[in-house]
Amino acid sequence: MKKSILLLTGLVLLTCSAIAQKNYLQESKADKVKRMQWWTDDTFGMFIHWGLYAVPAGEYNGKGGGAEWIMETHKIPTAEYEKFAGQFNPQKFNAKEWVQIAKSAGAKYIVITSKHHDGFSMWDSEVTGYDIMDATPFKRDILKELSDACKAAGIKFCLYHSILDWHQPDAKSKDYLRQAIEHPDFNKYRETYLKPQLAELIRKYNPEVLWFDGEWIPEWSEQQGKDLYNYLRNIKPSLIINNRVSKARGGMEGMNKYENAAGDFGTPEQEILKGASQDYWESCMTLNGNWGYVKNDNNWKSAQLLIDNLVDIAAKGGNYLLNVGPTAEGQIPAQSIERLAEMGKWLAINKEAIYATNGIANYKEGDHIKFTQSKDGKSTYALFNKYENNELLLTSVQPKTGSKIYMLGVNKPLSWTKNGDAITIKLPEQLPGKYTWTLKIQH
C-alpha cells in the first residue's frame, strides 16, 4: 500500500476509535447496580500478596521489619533487591491447590498482586524483563495458571496492581534514599508502561476486578485516575475498579472524601466501617499482621474473630477481602489454611445469611447479634455468637404471629413466644457447628 493511503487509513481508524471511546464516568445508577451485582452477592474474597518480597520474608541483613514494603523499610538499593529474583523459585506452587483453598473457605473471588510497589511483574510482561518469566529461575506464568484454575473452579479472577513503582525510574521523583531523580517522566511511565501493562493483563487474564493501590504519590492526580478508569473500561466494559484508581480515598478508612471520583467501591484497609453503608465497599484485612509473607509473624487472628468480621461486614453491607501471603516456596502458610478451612465449614451451614443478602440500617442488637436480610425481604437473619439458657431474646425484630423461625443447619422450626416488643426463641438442644449461629426469621 502507498504510504499516503496507509496514513489516511491510520487517521480514519484513529478518529473512529476516538469517537468510540465511551465515557464510563457517566454511567447510570441502574447500569452500575447491574455491573456490581455479582460482586455484592459474592461478599467474600481471598487476597493474595505474592512477589519477590517472599524471599527475604521480613528480614534483611539479620534485621526484621517490612514484608512487601521491605525494599523501602530497609532502603535496599534497586540492584540489590533485584537479586531476589534469582532466588525466586517456588517449586511447590500449585495453582489448583490455592484455588481449592479459596473455594473451600467459601471465597468467591481471588485478588492477586500482578505488581506490588516493588515493581516486579508476576507474569511475562511485554514491556519489561523485570518479571517472573525473564528474571527468575522459575519461569512459569503464575497468573495464567491461576486464572485457568479459577475458571475451572468457578472462582472470579481479579488483580491487584500498584500505581506507584519503586523500580521504574520515571515513576518516581525521588529514589529509595529520598534523593531527587533527575527528569523523571511520569507521563512516559503512565503511557508506555503502566497503561500497556494493564491492557496486557486484561487481554491475557481477563480479570473481573482491577484493584489499584499506591495512588497517594504526588505524581498521581484525579484526572489521571479518570483517564485510566475510562481507558480500562473501554477495553473491558464489565470491569470493576476500586476507588484507589482516583485520589478520593480518605486515609485507611477507605471511603471517598469527595463526589464524582473515578472508581467503583471504597477500600477500608485493616478496618471495618463503623456503621452500615449503602455505598459499595470492601474491607481488606490480613490473617496475621502482614500482607506479604513474614516468617516470624505468628500474630494469627482466631477463627472466631475472622467469622465475627465476616458477619459484621455482611451486616453493614460490605465485602470482606481476606489476605494470604504465600512463601517463596509457593505455599500458603498452614496457619492460614487452617483458619480458612474453619470459615468454610462455618459458611457451609450459614451461607444463606451471608451471600446475596442485603445489609439493613438496623444491623445489630447489642454486641453479640447482627442482622442481614434476604433480597426478597421475606427473611431476616439474626447471627449471634453468644447465648444463655438455650434461648435468644430479640427486641428489634417483630415477626407476625405464626411466623416460622428456623436455625440454619436444623430442619424443624423453633418455638418462640412474644412478650411485648420482644420475642424469645427456644434454641435447639444441640446447636450446629461453632462460633456463630443463625436464626432465619420468616415474616
Considering beta carbons, is residue 13 or 252 the nearer one to ligand H79? 252
Contacts to ligand H79 by CB under 6 A = 68-69, 213, 216, 251-252, 269, 284, 291
The DSSP bridge pattern shows strands 422-426 and 416-419 to be: antiparallel
Residue 170 in contact with residue 184, Cβ under 8 Å?
Answer: yes
Considering beta carbons, is residue 158 or 353 the nearer one to ligand H79? 158
Q: In the complex, what is the shortest distance from the CB of residue 216 to ligand H79, in angstroms, rounded to a whole number?
A: 4
Considering beta carbons, is residue 10 or 251 the nearer one to ligand H79? 251
DSSP string, 353-420: GTTTEE--SS-EETTTEEEEEETTSSEEEEEES--BTTEEEESS--PPTT--EEETT--SPPPEEEET
Considering beta carbons, is residue 189 or 291 the nearer one to ligand H79? 291
Q: Which amino acid is at 109?
A: Y
Q: In the complex, what is the shortest distance from the CB of residue 359 to ligand H79, in angstroms, rounded to a whole number?
A: 23
C-alpha cell read off for 105: 473457605
Largest distance between two CA atoms of the chain: 89
C-alpha cell read off for 198: 494493564
C-alpha cell read off for 36: 456490581
Q: In the complex, what is the shortest distance from the CB of residue 252 to ligand H79, in angstroms, rounded to a whole number?
A: 5
Intra-chain end-to-end CA distance of the chain, in Å = 73
DSSP string, 285-304: EESSS-SS--TT---PPPHH
SS3 272: coil
- Beta strands (DSSP E) in 171-290 are 209-213, 240-241, 282-286
Considering beta carbons, is residue 269 or 342 the nearer one to ligand H79? 269
Considering beta carbons, is residue 321 or 439 the nearer one to ligand H79? 321
Q: In the complex, what is the shortest distance from the CB of residue 68 to ligand H79, in angstroms, rounded to a whole number?
A: 5
Considering beta carbons, is residue 130 or 211 the nearer one to ligand H79? 211
Q: Which amino acid is at 268?
A: P
Considering beta carbons, is residue 151 or 301 the nearer one to ligand H79? 301
Beta-bridge partner residues of 73: none
Give me the numbers of helices (H) and strands (E) for the chain, helices first please.
12, 18
Considering beta carbons, is residue 213 or 264 the nearer one to ligand H79? 213
SS3 47: strand
Residue 371 in contact with residue 364, Cβ under 8 Å?
Answer: yes
Q: In the complex, what is the shortest distance from the CB of residue 82 to ligand H79, in angstroms, rounded to a whole number?
A: 19
Considering beta carbons, is residue 157 or 416 the nearer one to ligand H79? 157
Q: In the complex, what is the shortest distance from the CB of residue 127 to ligand H79, in angstroms, rounded to a whole number?
A: 22
Q: In the complex, what is the shortest distance from the CB of residue 229 to ligand H79, in angstroms, rounded to a whole number?
A: 19
Q: In the complex, what is the shortest distance from the CB of residue 90 to ligand H79, in angstroms, rounded to a whole number?
A: 19
C-alpha cell read off for 29: 445508577
Q: What is the CA radius of gyration of the chain?
A: 24
SS3 28: coil
Q: Which residue is nearest to ligand H79 (CB)?
A: 216
User: What is the C-alpha to C-alpha distance for residues 227 and 368, in angstroms, rounded to an integer?
Assistant: 45
Q: In the complex, what is the shortest distance from the CB of residue 50 to ligand H79, in angstroms, rounded to a whole number?
A: 11
Q: In the complex, what is the shortest distance from the CB of residue 292 to ligand H79, in angstroms, rounded to a whole number?
A: 7
Instruction: Count how many Cα atoms sit within 13 Å of the Cα of residue 254 in the half-sphere of its side chain.
Output: 24
Contacts of 366 (CB under 8 A, 6+ apart): none
Q: In the complex, what is the shortest distance from the CB of residue 246 to ligand H79, in angstroms, rounded to a whole number?
A: 12
Considering beta carbons, is residue 291 or 363 the nearer one to ligand H79? 291
